[in-house]
Amino acid sequence: MGKDVIIACDFADKKACLNFLDKFEGKKPFVKIGMELFYAEGPEIVREIKARGHKIFLDLKLHDIPNTVKKSMAVLSRLDVDMCNLHAAGTAAMMTAAIEGLTRADGTRPLLIAVTQLTSTSEEAMHKDMHYAKNAKCAGLDGVVCSPLEAAAVHNACGEGFLTVTPGIRFADGDKGDQSRVTTPAKAKELGSDYIVVGRPITAAADPVEAYERCVREFVG
């Protein structure tokens, strides 16, 4: 599986999101839809962006009892997203139930990854990452969301095929914002990230398309 840049479309509403995507004429970047946009617009925003030809990472971080997560994942699977996630702090039973819910009648399903720690979390809280990653691997998940700084360790513990999806990406000449553990796209590549999730360095850039293309150059090559 090749490396890819995922744009975090953390917009307040459909209009702002689609106006942003309209800038990418002829390009179909992989995008992340998070809680703010999904709660504002509902499943229809997923359908509309998918119909435009974009891959979608639906970032809702499910965490509940196994049956609730299973039923919720079954609904999300029908939206034809490419990746979704849950909290690694959930039980193994919850993660197994999530896979069951995501799996369609034909045996296909979106990628399912687990959130280990949020990138606003301090260094001291990171010791749980490997424990969470190993639990996710044992439950049959495809990978984890983690800091780029943990990507190599996750691959060492769980195998090269176990995906690392890494937010906390900033350009070398940019502001790190509220993220406490950040790297550049080039450094994330060096550290072994499979996907980088990039928000404000692209969405708030004077030229978002150029910023996206810069990310692709630095991370994918």
Residue carrying the six token digits 């039973």? 93
Give the pair of three-digit tokens for residue 2: 């090749």
**By C-alpha distance, which of 214, 167, 213 is closest to 194?**
167
* Closest listed residue to residue 180, CA positions, set 126, 127, 121: 121
Helical H segments across the chain, by residue range: 14-21, 35-41, 43-51, 66-77, 92-102, 129-139, 151-158, 185-191, 200-203, 208-219
61 is catalytic: yes
The active-site residue out of 50, 61, 176, 187 is 61
Q: Which residues are catalytic?
A: 61
